[in-house]
Structure 1
Amino acid sequence: MAELNKQPKYVKVYNQLLALIETGIYPKESKLPSELQLAKKLGVSRMTLRQGLNLLQEDGLIEIKHGLGSFVTGEGTPINEGLERQGQVLDKLTATSFELVSCELNLRPADHYIDKHFHQRTGQVLDVRRLFQGEKGQAYCFTVVAGPEFESLYPDLTEERIHDWLEQDLYQHSVSSHLHFQVLEETHVLKEQGLTSQFHCVGLVTEKVFGQTGQLLAIHKYYLPVEWISWDVLAKTGY
């Protein structure tokens, strides 16, 4: 008869803290005691405690804020539609919401890069640089739109109109998107945009939005601190 493996200590820590949260000893939005106090209370090392805390954070039960401590959310990770549904990407990448801070437009002649990626020759291209503010800090998005897709916006080519078009109208005229994820080191340019990471890395999510005939409508590049990223994909059977 096979022997049952002993439960790892950090799993016991997880279960003990979960019980304390569920019974209201540590209520929602409260701050947990310090690592030193918790480790002593539970009779484990601080390393074991951190492993248990990390599991709780993975399940959405607490939030560990660097330099501030651990805070109870008590909600768990909800099962919601995520990146599998086409639409505004930034809010789906994190557990926070963002507000637009600034939007800069630059209408310029197309170049070889545009012709290569959009597979068409077009006279003009629109660059859009947007800065967003979230609860934890800032995120940055660079967008390129080429071809006749944005010509319907004339003569109302304003920052507010373009932002609304990118967030809503663009997806109404598209049929699919392709997302690519990368982790990059911080750069001086990104720091100038207000992006800082405790790990000195940023997440780059490149979204290509395609129209009904397969033509590329727009390219979005979202930059945000890598420690913020937490996305969901709701997988379903069948096609």
Structure 2
Amino acid sequence: MNDINLIQKPKELRYVTVYNKLFKMINEGTFAEGSRLPTEPELAKFIGVSRTTLRQALALLQDDGLVKNIRGKGNFIVKSKTNKLDGLEKIGHPVYKCIDDVIDDVEFALRIEPSTDYFNQILIKKTAAVVLIDRWYKTKENTVAYTFTLIPIETISKFNINLNNKDEVLKFLENDIYELANNVLTEIKYSTSGNFAAKKHQISSEDKFHLIQETICKDDNFPIVSNKHYLPIKSSSIKLCPVK
């Protein structure tokens, strides 16, 4: 019988070893959920590695959603449990699905303008006027996401929306359109324009954003609403749960 040649397991990379060590410590509760890790010099000295190796391990932990880096404050252990079980494959509001924080307030601004060639192109048809809506999503008075909404005037008439009633407009945009929709085209892009797109409120200290563009339709191919959602990459995650 011929000898079986076993492939020797390659030596584990140093940063992978550190990653595994920190992963074990986090899951065993050495660092409690929501707590701040020791500073990078302290943690590197404690584990006995260089700061470069430590940062490589921390970057992997951040990718896995176990550690979150907040600029100027340090690295924090992310809570492992979430009630956001479904992803973007199910029709629903992307801000609430993807932002890590709990939204407790929505600031709202509305204006009506004549349509333009750009708006007509987005809406795939000509319309006389459009309703433009800015929404700033807040957590404990801090703005954490921004949405720009474009509504053809026909949508307002079709669904009998009272533009003078803020609560009614918000209910339509936050809830009703996702129940009415039978077709939503969702495009996910990387953007650096979130802060100036959001105008009056800065939504992140970094110019790195997920841009989720929604074209929402009902009954035909013409959108009833078009949304641009800007979510800071450092405080949001995009999940898809495809089923066969």
Task: Specify the TM-score bucket, using the shorter chain as the normaliser.
Answer: 0.7 to 0.9
Q: TM-score, normalised by structure 2?
A: 0.85
Q: Give the drift of 1:175.
A: 0.8
Which 5+ residue runs of structure 1 have no aligned equivalent? none
Counterparts of 1:59-138 in structure 2, within 5 Å, are: 59-75=64-80, 80-134=85-139, 137-138=143-144
Q: Give the drift of 1:49.
A: 0.8
Whether 1:26 aligns to 2:31 is yes
Whether 1:214 aligns to 2:221 is yes
Tell me how far apart the structure 1 counterparts of residues 86 and 118 of structure 2 sit (CA, whole Å): 34
Q: TM-score, normalised by structure 1?
A: 0.86
Closer, same or farther: CA 71–114 of 1 in aligned 2, 3 Å: closer
C-alpha RMSD of matched pairs (Å): 2.5
Aligned mate of 2:188, from 156, 173, 181: 181
1:186–1:196: 8 Å Cα contact kept in structure 2? no
Identity rate, percent: 27
Whether 1:149 aligns to 2:158 is no
2:189–2:212: 8 Å Cα contact kept in structure 1? yes
Q: Which moved more, 1:176-185 or 1:227-236?
A: 176-185
2:195–2:203: 8 Å Cα contact kept in structure 1? no
Q: Give the drift of 1:15.
A: 1.6
Q: How many residues align?
A: 237
2:104–2:139: 8 Å Cα contact kept in structure 1? yes
Query: SS where residue 15 of structure 1 aligns?
Result: helix
Q: Give the drift of 1:46.
A: 0.8
Q: Which moved more, 1:54-63 or 1:181-190?
A: 181-190
Whether 1:6 aligns to 2:11 is yes
Query: SS where residue 98 of structure 1 aligns?
Result: coil
Closer, same or farther: CA 147–156 of 1 in aligned 2, 3 Å: closer
Tell me how far apart the structure 2 counterparts of residues 79 and 100 of structure 1 sit (CA, whole Å): 19
Q: Give the drift of 1:220.
A: 0.4
**One-letter amino acid matched to 1:52:** A
Tell me how far apart the structure 1 counterparts of residues 240 and 161 of structure 2 sit (CA, whole Å): 37
Query: SS where residue 105 of structure 2 aligns?
Result: strand
Q: Give the drift of 1:35.
A: 1.0
Which 5+ residue runs of structure 2 have no aligned equivalent? none
